[in-house]
Structures are given as structure tokens and as C-alpha cells.
Amino acid sequence: MKRVFKVSAMLAVAVFTLTSCNCYKKMAKNQNDVQLVCTPEVLELNNGVVEADITVKFPVKYFNAKAVVKVTPVIVFEGGEVAGAAQYFQGTKVQDNYTVIDANQGGEYTMHVSFPYDARMECSQLQLRAEIKCQSGKCKEFTLVNLNTGLVPSKAEAAVLAAGGAEAEALARTFGLVIAEGVNVLQSDLNYAEAMQVMESGYKNVTTEVTRANYMYAINSSNLSSKAKKSEELTAFQQKAAEQKDNDRIKQNLYVNGYASPDGPEKFNDKLSAARSQSGKKAAEALLKEIGLPLDAASYGEDWEGFKELVAASNIEDKELILSVLNSYESSSERENQIKNMSQVFEALKKDILPQLRRAQLVNSSDITGKTDDEMAALVRAANFSALDEKEMLHIASTNKLTLEEKIVVLEAAAKTYGSAAAHNNLAIAYAEAGESAKAAASFDAAVKAGGNSAELNNNLALVNLMNGNTEAANAYAANASKETKALAAAANGNYAAAQTELDGYNAAVAATMNADYTAAKQYIANDKTAEADYLRAVIAVKQGDFATATAELKSAIAKDGSYAERCQKDVNLRGHIGKEILL
């Protein structure tokens, strides 16, 4: 924003008011203008900071050789103000180490100002305040000068300024020259939470639970003894099947599988396993006669897989050698011959392993249908978290069955009860969606402490640091994050052109708007009917000079979300362009 003010004319008045500041008499004679240019013209929020470059151009024959001017940038907002670093300028005869302005050549200086963002700065003014000092006279100490009138303080004003306090601050503000008004905070609308990645719950609505029991046979036999038909294992199998019979959420599938131990002729063992499947089926039908479910029977010949599992779990000497033989030969006869050649080992196998493989195995594969989403949501609303396991908690929080507040409640319960990385990670995302960036950061840290070390968590740590303005940490995590997160990091650093190409939807529209690519911005949200999209369309319309569309879109946004009625009055993109009647 270019501001031109006739300093010399103003100071001429000041000289007559306070002639003891006579070093400014000569400056007052110069009628040329001191020029100020603020870049950008409208201040912008950029990664938690408001920055600008202010260029001051002093004309030739203006600056008194014995004068010192102290210029302080101050950003003023309701309830407070923040002063930036002061810059000092001196004439050629001043014995200090400030920036020298030669009256014969004039001078141009650019000062960079930076302020940590405060939400109150959205409605603010960036001022310059100047103080003058002479080597002689009553202005030997820096004296505030009113850059709007050119006057130095009257005695009464000087007393107020010396007293300090709220009245002094208010008076000092009237002495400042406004070079920019308001801060464009559209960057803060970037939705980082939208790009965060949840950790999977592992939840399945239908799970399969397998129960097994065995009918054991003597070597080379397919006949079951009375004793073999009765065991604690078989009784437990029958009882569980009976308990599940009337449960509408459980579908039981019953099988009898016949096996033979892998010793003896292969063809004989094939027939033997088939006979065992049939005698096992007959015994199982008697055992489960009250269940009323069909039984499928099958035979699998020599049970090499069972043999391998039992050997691996055993303490048999040279078991690694046995397993090596199993992996080296595919033929049953070759495997058997190689193992029998290890005579000492084979004796142990005959005693401890092979008898366990002479069986008909009874299998109940039960498909269990879990709670519906509505049932889980009802339990959340009743705060009956003990009726939900962790997977169910994480799952229901990922659906659209809960409000954001309810999601936070159930995920807090999951994190407290189970303490897993997934629970803390997903809770952090819910906090981020609610705008609770500090809580989100703490929950992501808890996910790391819980052992989380995944691509999802790394990605989310980049995004939560962007939310909190921690640029260095965010960029470190973003290096190994998704393309979307890298693009959001670019946008947070003000590189909107690069960000726009890798984003889509609302975030892309925000980047495009900041990049002044308004046509693309409208296309990104063409099908978005949310309040935030309506509001952004209003901003775009104002920038394009289409105030009728801006008014219509803003009315639509306010109808969907009343908070936009207050926001539009503070927004530098809209303030002063749209009449207050739209709020009625």
C-alpha cells in the first residue's frame, strides 16, 4: 500500500509549536514528500506470522544532518497492540551507528516487520510511529511526533504520555500513521484435519471362530472305541455348539475330517483316512443330534501338515533336521524313508507324534455377526463403553453415526482403556477436526509413546505441527509424508502455486484463491454445497468485483452456519464491500 505524506509541511507546523526542536526547521523547508510503500498491500497470515516489507523513501535535501528519527512499526487491534523492531535513521553529522540518510542524495530503506499472529489481528491497523531527537534543544531525548498532523505533543499530551497506562497508549495510537488495515487470514481455513490419516480399527462385522475336537484311533484302525467317543474335549465341543444354536448372530458350519499318520503305504492311508471320516461322522452325529445341523465329512490322507506343526512345537532332538527333510522332499514316500533312516529320531516320532495324527477331527467354523453400527452408537450415547471392545470403539468413531463430540468421547474412552497407538492417533484427528490443535498434538505424542511408528502417524505429525505453526518440525515430518501433506506444507509456507497443483476440493480452492487463480478456485468447489464453500465463493466474488454473487453466497453461508455472520464483519476480504443489510 503506497502512502505519501508531506513530512516537511507537517514539521513546519511542529517547528512553530516547539521551536526548540530547531534541527527540524531545515527539514521543514523541504516540500518534497516522504514516500511509504507497504508490501503486501493487504497483510496476510502466513504460517502463524504476519509479515510485511515497508519501504521508506526520503527525498533529496530533506533529512537534517543533525537529526535522528526512530521509526517503530506497531500492529494495533482491539484490546492490545504489538510493536515490531524499531529502525533508526540519522543525518550525516550524528555520531551514532544508525542508518545514515545523506541530505544531498536522499535515501531509501526497506524494513521487514514480523508479528506472531493473534486472532485479534484480523481487525487491525499497521502503523508507523516516529520519534525525533536533536543534538541540541529540548528534543535531546526521543520525542514522539504525530505523523498525521506533524505536531509534537503539547505539554498536556506529553504529561499523558509520560504517565503511561491505557490513556497514554490510546494517545500514542492517534500519533501513528496507518499504512495497512486488516489481515487476510484465509490461509487459516486450510483443513489440515481432512488430510490426516486414521489407523485402521481391524474391526470386522463378521468374524469366524473355529473350535476343534478329535476322535482318536489305534494304528491302522478306523473303528472307534467307546472310550474314544468320550472326552472332555468332545464334551466341551458339544456344549459350545448347543449354546450357540439359538443365537441368530451365529452361523455354525460343522465338519468331520479324517486323517492318517504319515507312516505306512500311502494308498492304504488314503483309504484309512476316508474310513475314519465316516466313522467319525457317525460318532459326531450322535454327539450333536440335538443341534440339528448338517455334518460334512472329508478325508485328507496322510497328515503331513499336522506332522510338521507337532514336530515344530516339540522338544524332539534334531527336530530342525526333520523339518528340513519335510521342506526338501515333496513325495510322501521319500519323506517317510528319509525320516525312518534316522532310526533314533523315528522312535521318538512313533511314540510322541504319530499317534496324535490318527484321528477324525470335528470342526465347528462359526461365523459370528457383531453389533450393528446403530447398536454401537446407542451404547456410546449411553456411555456404556464396557459393552464395546477397542475395535468396535475405533470402528464406530469412523462412521457417520456419531457427532464429532460423540466421536471424541468414545475415542477418549478407547485411549484411556486400551492406550494403543491407533486409539491415540484417531482421537488426535477428532481433536483436530474440532479445532483443538493443542490436544491433537498431545494425543499424537501419546500415539508415539504407545509404540506408534507408521506412515500414517508421520503424516499426521506433519499436519498437526502445521496447525500449530511449528514450521521446522512440520517440514521435517512432511519430507516423508503424502503428496497432499507436502502440498499443505507448501501452502502453509505461502507457496500457493505449488500447493494448488497437488490438492483438490476445498483446500485446493483456498490455495488457488490465495494464488489469485479465481477461476480454478471456483472449479475446485463447484459441487461443494457446504457453508464454508459458500463463504469462499463470496470471497472470490468480491475479489472479482461481483458483489451481487458475493452477497448471495454469503447469505447462503450464514443460513447454513450462523457463525459466518460475525466472521464476515471482520474479514478484510469482505469488510467494506458488502452491506450490513445481509445480516438482517
Name the amino acid, one letter, at 304: W
Name the amino acid, one letter, at 554: L
Most confident of 17-31, 317-331, 395-409: 395-409
User: Residue 40 pLDDT more than 60?
Assistant: yes
Among candidate residues 190, 192, 196, the one with its CA nearest the CA of residue 536: 190
Lowest mean pLDDT among 6-10, 194-198, 527-531: 6-10
What is the pLDDT averaged over residues 33-51? 88
Looking at residue 519, its pLDDT comes to 96
For the record, the C-alpha cell of 149 comes out as 498532523
Among candidate residues 168, 159, 170, the one with its CA nearest the CA of residue 78: 170
User: Residue 2 pLDDT more than 50?
Assistant: no
- pLDDT digit string, tens, across residues 86-109: 999 999 999 889 999 998 898 899
pTM of the prediction? 0.75
Show the domains of the chain with their CATH numbers. 2-184 (no CATH), 206-369 (3.30.1330.60), 373-583 (1.25.40.10)
- pLDDT digit string, tens, across residues 199-212: 999 999 999 999 99
- pLDDT digit string, tens, across residues 311-344: 999 988 888 888 988 888 888 888 888 888 887 7
Looking at residue 579, its pLDDT comes to 53
Name the amino acid, one letter, at 563: S
CB atoms within 10 A of CB 163: 9
Looking at residue 35, its pLDDT comes to 85
User: Residue 33 pLDDT more than 80?
Assistant: no
What is the pLDDT averaged over residues 144-168? 87
Looking at residue 8, its pLDDT comes to 37
CA gap 323, 202 in Å, rounded = 34
Q: Which residues pair with 49 in a beta bridge?
A: 46, 116
User: Residue 9 pLDDT more than 80?
Assistant: no
Looking at residue 138, its pLDDT comes to 67
More confident residue, 12 or 349: 349
Looking at residue 23, its pLDDT comes to 64
What is the pLDDT averaged over residues 109-113? 93
